[in-house]
Structure 1
Amino acid sequence: MNHLYSPCDQTIYVVPSILPSRLNCLQRDTPCFDSPSYSSFAVDSGGSRPIRGSDNSIYEPDDASLPVASYYVTDSTRWGVSNIGRFMDPSNGSYIIYTSRQFTNTLDSELFQTARMSPSSLRYFGIGLKNGMYSVVLQFAEIFFPDDETWKSVGKRIFNIYIQ
């Protein structure tokens, strides 16, 4: 609900919030009546096709075009992603980067060959997840900066991860 206050007549007007299509389940304490319930989801950030991981999870592709301040919800309504911010000069305009590098110490090297970039905020969210205890696995690989000990090489990253 949005509350609007009019100082002229000192009245508070209550206006129901209307969420964009397929995001009606994201309000606090609002069950997803029309959506199936899930107990997991897996995303291949920047990927273009589903991939079965070594853990038998199906990693859904995340290659939708996300312009400045936008969101995308999958057709399965299982998860979504939002992006805020704009690069001054995106290399390909899609905010997705690719590498042909093969990563070691993983059975799923293909999952680390694409990534979605965001200059400010990139959020993934599960939709219709059942209440319960979850194990969360986050996997990262640096594919944008080289690891060559020059001024352009790999630096430190800070991640703010919150789960509610």
Structure 2
Amino acid sequence: MVAASYSFYINCGGGKVATKNGKTYNDDTDEGGAAKFYHKENTIWAFSSTGNYLESKNPNYIPPIDESDKLSLNNNNNNDDAELYTNARASPLSLTYYGFCLGNGNYTVDLHFAEIVFTHDQTYKSLGRRIFDIYIQGNLVQKDFNIAEAAGGIGKAVIKSFNASVINGTLEIRLYWAGKGTTAIPQKSIYGPLISAISVYTDHGNGSGISAAAVAGIVVGVVVIIVLMIFAILWRKGCLGKRNSSTQELQGLELQTGMFSVRQIKMATNNFDRVNKIGEGGFGPVYKGKLPNGIIIAVKQLSSKSMQGNREFLNEIGAEEHQIELDWQTRKKICIGIARGLAYLHEESRVKVVHRDIKATNVLLDEDLNSKISDFGLAKLDEEDNTHISTRIAGT
């Protein structure tokens, strides 16, 4: 029989803290990151963080308190716990803390919050709004939580207490950004959930022991999760499968590209609503979308029947530094080459073809700037009994 634990305390994003009431909060100073799973040695807890901060090259997953908020924090919190709120752990999308090897029974979960990134002054940094949802054991216990609003201001601490039932020795606390609040104020990439500390405790008498088999099962589960997270990170970095070649193609062009989750794209296009459809090309349908910061985007949804891939996509988004200056004589040469190609398709080819999507991005040039017509995704045969003309929206 392995003895079960009935409490644990974490100073999220900060160092080890011993309070006057006898509680010792474990340090939680791992740098974190997207697709990160971390288990601190000799503890019964771990955390995982998912999501990418939009348009941020150096995201901060452990934000420190803003200097202007230190005085407010010390004046509005007890001296023995103010240190818990000088750092916090943040995530752009989802932040989950796990408790392992807990005795079964009823627990009290205290979540400590303080808005330490935004300020309470009259500067631009005071305009941010942080809103997220809180889940305990998979159940939504707090929707649209706003730290500053709940605490009564910036730099003030607030503790939210919840009841939780542990029946299999594990506890899950999840903070999830629901796409609300600000994403670019006062600066980009400081949105998403943020938490200062966690206290989990219960009356020892209310819990029951946990068997060695259950503990072994939990440990095996943790190991499996860690292995899966490692594979996810390796795949993301292009170290597994065919992803490496496509990543190299993007990096080779030095494009200003960013990564978006499927959830963010669905939000931008209202789950690919047909009302937002603006066209259809060789890749598939194209939708109009709007990012949380107001930027209007076009989203290409790759069709399962499409024969196009990375090279065709890169041809459409080629970077400006790889473009060349064309004089009018060269432009004339290119246009005549296109005309010759179309004339061949219409009149000289054994099988007569109508391209139906001639545009600059569908004309390739060789090293001598000779025209090559490409992208026949919308092409049709020119048959006397079958018209190639259609009235539906297609192409760009």
> TM-score band, normalised by the shorter chain?
0.5 to 0.7
Instruction: Say yes or no: does 1:105 pair with 2:106.
Output: no
1:146–1:152 Cα contact (<8 Å) kept = yes
Kindly indicate whether structure 1 or structure 2 has the higher relative contact order, using CA contacts under 8 Å at least 6 residues apart: 1
Match for residue 152 of structure 1 among 117, 125, 133: 125
1:96–1:114 Cα contact (<8 Å) kept = yes
Aligned residue in 1 for 2:8? 41
* Aligned equivalents of 2:61, 2:30: Cα separation in 1: 10
Aligned residue in 1 for 2:56? 89
Aligned residue in 2 for 1:118? 91
Q: C-alpha displacement at 1:125, in angstroms?
A: 1.3
- SS of residue matched to 1:133: strand
Structure 1 stretches (4+) deviating beyond 4 angstroms? none
Aligned residue in 1 for 2:181? none
User: Runs of 5+ in structure 1 lacking a partner?
Assistant: 1-32
For 1:56-75, list aligned pairs within 5 A: 56-75=22-41
List per-residue Cα deviations over 1:76-98 (Å, max 9, x = no partner).
2410011001223265x551121
- SS of residue matched to 2:107: coil
* Aligned equivalents of 2:56, 2:48: Cα separation in 1: 20
The change in CA–CA distance for 1:158 and 1:54 in structure 2 (over 3 A counts) is farther
- SS of residue matched to 2:47: strand
Q: C-alpha displacement at 1:37, in angstroms?
A: 2.1
Q: C-alpha displacement at 1:163, in angstroms?
A: 2.0
Aligned residue in 2 for 1:161? 134
Residue 94 of structure 2 aligns with an amino acid whose one-letter code is S
* Aligned equivalents of 1:69, 1:160: Cα separation in 2: 19
Q: C-alpha displacement at 1:151, in angstroms?
A: 4.4
Aligned residue in 2 for 1:143? 116
* Aligned equivalents of 2:19, 2:44: Cα separation in 1: 18
* Aligned equivalents of 1:141, 1:89: Cα separation in 2: 23
- SS of residue matched to 1:114: coil
- SS of residue matched to 1:96: coil
Computed over aligned residues only, the root mean square deviation of the Cα atoms, in angstroms, reads 2.3
Residue 99 of structure 2 aligns with an amino acid whose one-letter code is G
* Aligned equivalents of 2:85, 2:3: Cα separation in 1: 29
User: Runs of 5+ in structure 2 lacking a partner?
Assistant: 138-396
The change in CA–CA distance for 1:158 and 1:83 in structure 2 (over 3 A counts) is same
Aligned residue in 2 for 1:130? 103
* Aligned equivalents of 2:111, 2:126: Cα separation in 1: 23
Q: C-alpha displacement at 1:36, in angstroms?
A: 5.4
- SS of residue matched to 1:129: coil
* Aligned equivalents of 1:125, 1:147: Cα separation in 2: 33
For normalisation by structure 1, the TM-score amounts to: 0.68
The change in CA–CA distance for 1:44 and 1:154 in structure 2 (over 3 A counts) is farther
- SS of residue matched to 1:111: helix
Residue 77 of structure 2 aligns with an amino acid whose one-letter code is N
* Aligned equivalents of 1:61, 1:154: Cα separation in 2: 31
* Aligned equivalents of 1:65, 1:37: Cα separation in 2: 29
List per-residue Cα deviations over 1:2-48 (Å, max 9, x = no partner).
xxxxxxxxxxxxxxxxxxxxxxxxxxxxxxx8x75211111111113
Aligned residue in 2 for 1:4? none
Identity across matched positions, percent: 38
* Aligned equivalents of 2:127, 2:60: Cα separation in 1: 22
